[in-house]
Structure 1
Amino acid sequence: MPPAPPPPDGQSGRAAPAGTAARVLELVASGAVSSRADLVRELGLAASTVSARVQELVDQGLLTEDGEGTSRGGRRPRLLRIPDEGAVALAADLGSHHMRLGAVSLTGNAFDTEEHALDLTEGPAATLGVLTTRLAELAARQRSAGRTVRGVGVGFPGPVDTAGGQVVAPSRMPGWHLYPLRDRLAEQLGLPVLVDNDANVMALGEHRATHPGLHHLVLVKAGRGIGSGVISHGRLYRGAGGAAGDISHVRVEAAAERPCSCGNIGCLETVASGAALVAALRERGLPVGGAADVLRLVQDGDPQATTLVRQAGRHIGTVLSVVVNFFNPQAVVLGGALAEAEPLVAAVRGMLYERCLPVTTSELVITASATGADAGLLGAGHAALRELAAVPPPAGPAGSAAHSPTPDLPSPAPSTPGRETAP
């Protein structure tokens, strides 16, 4: 047989992928590498290719190179680091009746956070102005502090076509079906925008901030509704049609014939969501307005609220036991307002240990979210920064970079409509 042709780039058999710049940032930010030589070894690319990517990021202010590391027989390498100040992404974690905003740095910190009322059920025309005004104010504060705003990441509490940046058929939210949220925000802010499902960005935020060493993780958001995000092999997994992780509409025996907002009956959401608990407590004469009130009652030791929350945890755990046996994750993380209720977390943990195979739970981490309310911000900001890493910053409020590039947060198949969660 004739000899194999020489590898491209003179060293490696792998061509530089489109997301190399984003991967470089991720490796430096995580502390996995500290020099160009480290990157060559980690990425398996030619030194010239790595140097070109690093220089691009240095020129854009996304990396700095100073100081000297330990020599391994040659010149002492210059050390790479993420600037403490510099590039940020704006992040918005939207709920059906509120929004949480903040700036996220390349080092993975969320700051300048704020919360405001926002009623998505009024439709996009009534709410987009409030959202863009708040984001524009946040952007102005970052620029006045000398930071470059690279883009915007948004977590939306409903199904999202991430490739098209559109909301897809969210129940309880009239007027949002096929609304081009990404493009509308980009046009008004003059910035590239990324839009994804809120549970997805929460999973990304929790994974990067708290469990970066784990490769397989499931995050369940238990708030007004229920949703989940899946991390597989260290990366967000959306599935063939974008619906990976949709446990909200799994049928459970306890729900019997209860009608669900999805049009089906007997879904998990009808007995285990914050909305279901609020309705049940109101039927018992307790004055509750939302998941926060349910949590307050549990913390005050109210027996009815505690019993209902514990039952909700059992229902969620029953569905999750199938997920854990099938997917065999290293961690199950509970987020959202109801995850602050210890009876719910304990009930989920108990059901998983009771119903799952010992091999799947012997080393399984089952815990409440460590990042709390910032999980969605961290994930949305991280996703935006990573996807926009190699995109030159816009010139200003009327910059030409109006749309997000092809996503660099991969799923094994192109992303199409996702699934719904609620805050």
Structure 2
Amino acid sequence: MTSPDEPPGSAAHVLALVANGSATSRADLVRELGLAASTVSARVQELVEAGLLTESGEGASRGGRRPRLLRVAGQGAVALAADLGSHHIRTGAVGLTGDVLDAEDHATDLTTGPGPALDALAERLGALAERQRAAGRTVRGVGIGFPGPVDADGARVVAPSRMPGWHLFPLRDRLADRLGLPVLLDNDANMMALGEHRAAHPARRHLVVVKAGRGIGSGVISDGRLHRGAHGSAGDISHVRVDESARLPCSCGNIGCLETVASGAAIAAALRERGIAAESAADILRLVEHGDAQATTLVRQAGRDIGAVLAVVVNFFNPEAVVLGGALAGAQPLVAAVRAMLYERCLPMATSELTIATAVRGPDAGLLGAGHAVLTGTPPTLPRSPGGPATREAPTPRRTPTS
């Protein structure tokens, strides 16, 4: 599959084609990519020199010399990944072929502050690293998806709503010190966008991937790459004002934000006000599946509100696909309402070939995106504490050569 971070024909694209079995030789790559043999050979040589590909043995001949077979080096190499929610952490290991291994969910309340959450995250990832090493795998780094804004350098959390104490917390460096591994940090919706792009839409160059769960966010893939904007806040639709919520205060300090009416937390709160027990997105889905009229009405209206915001995004950005993910994407009334609003409010030119789909990787999308970003990019180098190096040094993952 095409890497979400690199254009077709790049070294990362070549690596992906070999990893997923689409190509086993340079000749296969020439046919798959439609590039000159000299260009393909240059890409392959970059990857071999970087230690990401090996070339040995002979394949079947198609009339000439037998081709040398290409393989991904170190098939046992993995990246650790964590997808954080306000009340849970999902961890797993991601391989070069896109497999998610040893995935687990853990209840953790991020709203209590960064100290307890950092302890829990370090403990879970440390145990995961030991299990991977015991299985003979090399751990190359850690990718983290955080449910809030992350600065442009990918080092600190910036003013996350509903999470006091996290503002400017250096999560990347603190976690790297604790684990002795390089760490890559980004917003959870961005990581989900990378995962869904790689898993389900590798040929598309322009996507908007929405994560609708307890909160709401989106990740933007532009020209095949994750678009983070000037300061890292691209795709944050949760604080766009919508008419239906004009008088409702938001945790960000403004009023009328999308989050106040269309997030899982807002829907659950509205249900509780009506005497209906609901704490989580799972509770909301259960009520909708059982035909509860009030839950269904609220979810459908949330879909309209999300669709109204996305209509502006689609008209402005003109993506090839809008992908709806997160727990609330399992509610069909919400998905149908989003789709209806997009077709109602967008220009026909913007929707004539627009794909509107639900995410296919479910809860593993964020893990896949975080792991893939580590394995095909360059996480920050391991920081040095005032007392010297981190307690356990680990090699920084090699960078995939660019085109």
Normalised-by-shorter TM-score class: 0.7 to 0.9
Q: 8 Å contact 1:89–1:151 — kept in the other structure?
A: yes
Q: 8 Å contact 1:338–1:344 — kept in the other structure?
A: yes
Cα drift, residue 241 of structure 1 = 2.4
- Alignment-mate amino acid for residue 133 of structure 2: R
Percent identical pairs in the alignment equals 67
Q: Report the equivalent of 1:299.
A: 289
Q: 8 Å contact 2:143–2:371 — kept in the other structure?
A: yes
Q: CA RMSD in A?
A: 3.0
Q: Report the equivalent of 1:315.
A: 305
Q: 8 Å contact 2:25–2:69 — kept in the other structure?
A: yes
C-alpha distance in 1, partners of 2:19/2:34? 17
C-alpha distance in 2, partners of 1:110/1:224? 24
C-alpha distance in 1, partners of 2:381/2:122? 22
Q: Report the equivalent of 2:90.
A: 100
When structure 1 is superposed on structure 2, of 106-115 and 163-172 the one drifting more is: 163-172
* Structure 1 residues 252 and 346: alpha-carbon distance in aligned structure 2, compared to 1, 3 A threshold: same
C-alpha distance in 2, partners of 1:171/1:188? 26
* Structure 1 residues 129 and 389: alpha-carbon distance in aligned structure 2, compared to 1, 3 A threshold: closer
Q: 8 Å contact 1:258–1:265 — kept in the other structure?
A: yes
C-alpha distance in 2, partners of 1:271/1:179? 28
- Alignment-mate amino acid for residue 16 of structure 2: E
- Alignment-mate amino acid for residue 265 of structure 1: I
Give TM-score, length-normalised by structure 1: 0.83
* Pick aligned residue for 1:56 from 45, 49, 65: 49
Q: Report the equivalent of 1:345.
A: 335
Aligned residues: 385
Report the 3-state secondary structure (helix = DSSP H, G, I; strand = E; otherwise coil) of the residue aligned with 2:191: helix
Cα drift, residue 289 of structure 1 = 1.1
After the TM superposition, which residues 319-398 of structure 1 pair with which residues of structure 2 at under 5 Å, given as runs? 319-388=309-378, 398=392
Give TM-score, length-normalised by structure 2: 0.87
Report the 3-state secondary structure (helix = DSSP H, G, I; strand = E; otherwise coil) of the residue aligned with 1:196: strand
* Pick aligned residue for 1:226 from 198, 202, 216: 216
Matched, 1:129 2:119: yes
- Alignment-mate amino acid for residue 56 of structure 1: E
Matched, 1:279 2:269: yes
C-alpha distance in 2, partners of 1:214/1:309? 29
Matched, 1:160 2:150: yes
CA displacement 1:258-312 (0-9 Å, x = unmatched): 1111111111111111111011001100011111111111111111000100000
CA displacement 1:206-234 (0-9 Å, x = unmatched): 01001111111101111111100001111
C-alpha distance in 2, partners of 1:226/1:408? 34
Q: 8 Å contact 2:265–2:280 — kept in the other structure?
A: yes
Cα drift, residue 77 of structure 1 = 2.4
Instruction: Give the gaps of 5 or more residues in structure 2.
Output: 1-6, 383-389
Cα drift, residue 25 of structure 1 = 2.5
Q: 8 Å contact 2:44–2:53 — kept in the other structure?
A: no
Cα drift, residue 147 of structure 1 = 0.7
Report the 3-state secondary structure (helix = DSSP H, G, I; strand = E; otherwise coil) of the residue aligned with 1:239: coil
